[in-house]
Amino acid sequence: MVYNVGLKTSLGPLKLESPVMTASGTCGFGRELADFYELKELGGLIVKGITVDPRDGNPTPRIAETAAGLINSIGLENPGIDGFIKEELPFLKTVNTKVLVNISGHSLNDFKKLAAVLAENEGIDGIEVNVSCPNIKGGGLAFGTDPELVFKITDLVRKEYNGFVMVKLTPNVRDIIPVAKSAAEGGADALAVANTLPGMKIDIESRIPVLATGSGGLSGPAIKPVTLRLVYEIVKNDILPVLGLGGIMTADDAIEYLLAGARAVGVGTATLIDPYAPIRIKSGIAKYLKNNSFDHLQEIIGLAHKKGANL
């Protein structure tokens, strides 16, 4: 459907044809979604988290369902950076949308190595740095909870990689502003806000947690109010352009993020339930703009800050 409204947007230097991207870990490496629609319909594709070495992932069950939410502990099953370059990159080079590669590490050196290898290869449009993974040396605490480490990781990645760098923040912090500022100081171009929240589900028959690993990351409608508020707060502090994500199921949800000041949005869990969700959300945004007499998406970004809010 054509709505004759402008949907172009940008995350700093990264220009997007439309504002809806698919979130890491919920769109594989793009092949499966390409069976449903042309990937150029998407603002961009953020592929599954890549680590230095291949990983088999966690034991199963890897998912548990909770009220309007999904808890996952996939454990970063992926072919490793070399496998990615060999098996997935050739396909990604052929897709006509922005491709961001999500990288995960368990040490500072992992991030440096991943960025260095990606810098040597053409065909991707940027890196999304996942700082939510546990820091093995730091006793397993997520890197993303420590502003100092977030600075170091961003700085290392920035020095290795000239292209677009977006840092994906964990919502699991007392105050997100210092972390967001550290990413900016480290040289990030944008922030993805946010990753999953830690959660648990217990099976009352077996009386043990459902997930084999005990707990995992909560996503879906259940987390939207939390991540939406974080986006609002970061935008208010005018740190870096923000990709808003967490629980977006409909165009209305996405519009809330845009009103909160996100320049683009990510859709994760919704794509798992309906592969067409990102497309549906994109046309729903266009329809909203048209119905409310806006000519361009940019006109609504950040409007919810007019009235202000106590945070």
Partner 1 sequence: MAKVLSNKSLADNIYFLKVSFKETINVKPGQFFNLKVCRDESYDPLLRRPLSVFDFDLDNNEVSFIYEIKGRGTRALSNYIKGDFLDIHGPLGNGFTVDFNNKKLILAGGGMGIAPLYFLAKYIGVNNDLTLCLGAANKGVLKPLVDYFANIVVELKLSTDDGSFGSQGTISCLLNNSSLGKEVEYDYLFGCGPKPMLEWLQSWMREEGISGEFSLEERMACGNGLCLSCSCKTTDGNKRLCKEGPVLPADEVIINGL
Binding site for ligand FMN (CB under 6 A): 23-26, 48-49, 70, 72, 74, 76, 102, 130, 168, 195-196, 219-220, 223, 245-248, 267-270
Compute the distance between CA of residue 49 and CA of residue 79 in angstroms, rounded to an integer.
10
Our answer to whether residue 27 is catalytic in this structure is no
CA angle 173, 179, 180 (to 5 degrees): 120
Question: Pick from ligand FMN, partner 1, none: which does 49 bind, CB < 5 to 8 A by kind?
Answer: ligand FMN
Task: Tell me how far, at minimum, the Cβ of 46 lies from ligand FMN, in Å.
Answer: 7
CA distance 188 to 208: 41
**Is the CB of residue 264 less than 8 Å from the CB of residue 243?**
yes
Which residue type does 175 have?
D
The span from the CA of 60 to the CA of 44, in Å, is: 30
249 part of the interface to partner 1, by CB under 8 A: yes
Question: Which residue in 14, 33, 124, 279 binds partner 1 (CB under 8 A)?
Answer: 33
Catalytic residue among 114, 115, 133, 176: 133
281 binds partner 1 (CB under 8 A): no
Which residue, 68 or 202, is less far from ligand FMN as judged by CB? 68
Q: Which of 232, 255, 253 is nearest to 242 (CA)?
A: 232
Using the Cα atoms of residue 52, residue 53, residue 59 and residue 64 in order, give the sign of their dihedral.
positive
Q: Which does 168 bind (CB under 5 to 8 A by kind): partner 1, ligand FMN, none?
A: ligand FMN
Q: Residue 299 is encoded by which pair of tokens? A: 């006109």
From 9, 16, 21, 25, residue interacting with partner 1 (rule: CB under 8 A): 25
Closest CA to 217 of 72, 65, 59: 72
Q: Which is nearer to partner 1, 22 or 145 (CB)?
A: 22
Cβ distance to partner 1 smaller for residue 47 or 234: 47
Work out whether 92 is an interface residue with partner 1 (CB under 8 A). no
> One symbol per residue from 98 to 137: x for binding partner 1 (CB under 8 A), - otherwise; what is it?
----------------------------------------
> Per rule CB under 8 A, is residue 220 in the interface with partner 1?
yes
Three-state SS at 162: coil
CA atoms in the 13 A half-sphere facing the CB of 130: 24
- Catalytic residue IDs: 133
